[in-house]
Amino acid sequence: MPTLATTIDGLKLPNPFIIGSGPPGTNLNVIARAFKEGWGAVIAKTVSLDASKVVNVTPRYGKLHSSDGKEVIGWENIELISDRPFKIWEEEFKKCKDMFPDRILIASIMEEYRKDAWIEIVERCQACGVDAFELNFSCPHGLPERKMGAAMGENPEILEEVCGWVKSAAKIPFWAKMTPNVTHIEDPSRASLKGGAAGISAINTIRSVIGVNLDTLRPEPNVEGYTTPGGYSSRAVKPIALRMVMEVAQLIRSEFPDRSLSAIGGVENGKDAAEFILLGADTVQVCTGVMKFGYEMVKPMCGELLAFMEKHKFETLADFKGKSLDYFTTHADLVKRQTERKATQKAAAAAKVVKADGEWSGDEFVKQSDALSRG
Ligand X SMILES: Cc1cc2nc3c(=O)[nH]c(=O)nc-3n(C[C@H](O)[C@H](O)[C@H](O)COP(=O)(O)O)c2cc1C
Binding site for ligand X (CB under 6 A): 20-23, 45-46, 75, 77, 79, 81, 108, 136, 139, 177, 204-205, 233-234, 237, 264-267, 286-289
Residue closer to ligand X by CB (options 33, 60) is 60
CB of 336 to ligand X, least distance (A): 36
Instruction: Measure the CA–CA gap between 185 and 178, rounded to whole angstroms.
Output: 7
Q: State the nearest-atom distance from the C-beta of 221 to ligand X, in Å.
A: 11
| Comparison of 51 and 314: residue with beta carbon closer to ligand X | 51
Q: Give the helix ranges, DSSP H, for 100-237.
A: 115-127, 150-153, 156-169, 186-195
Packing angle between helix 186-195 and helix 238-255, nearest 10 degrees? 50
Which one is catalytic: 96, 125, 139, 287?
Answer: 139
Q: How far is the CB of 350 from ligand X (least distance, A)?
A: 52
Q: Which is nearer to ligand X, 23 or 196 (CB)?
A: 23
CB 81, min distance to ligand X, A: 5
Which residues neighbour 79 within 8 Å (Cβ) at sequence distance 6 or greater? 22, 23, 56, 60, 61, 142
Q: How far is residue 91 from each of residues 20, 25, 87, 96, 123, measured CA to CA in Å?
A: 21, 15, 7, 9, 14
Whether 139 is catalytic is yes
Q: Measured from the CB of residue 20, what is the shortest distance to ligand X in angstroms?
A: 4
Q: List C-alpha distances in Å: 370 to 351, 357, 373, 375.
A: 12, 14, 5, 9
Three-state SS for 10?
Answer: coil
Comparing CB distances to ligand X, the nearer of 170 and 245 is 245
- Distances from the Cα of 290 to the Cα of 10, 245, 346, angstroms: 26, 21, 52
Rounded to an integer, what distance in angstroms lies between the CA atom of residue 63 and that of residue 291? 12
CB of 62 to ligand X, least distance (A): 11
Closer to ligand X at the Cβ: 143 or 368? 143
Phi, psi of 307 (to 5 degrees): -60, -40
Q: How far apart are CA 287 and CA 90, in angstroms?
A: 22
331: Cα separation from own chain's centroid: 25
Query: Closer to ligand X at the Cβ: 266 or 322?
Result: 266
The span from the CA of 41 to the CA of 11, in Å, is 9
Beta carbons of 39 and 17 less than 8 angstroms apart: yes
> Residue 212 contacts by C-beta under 8 Å, 6 or more apart in sequence?
218, 219, 220
Active site residues: 139
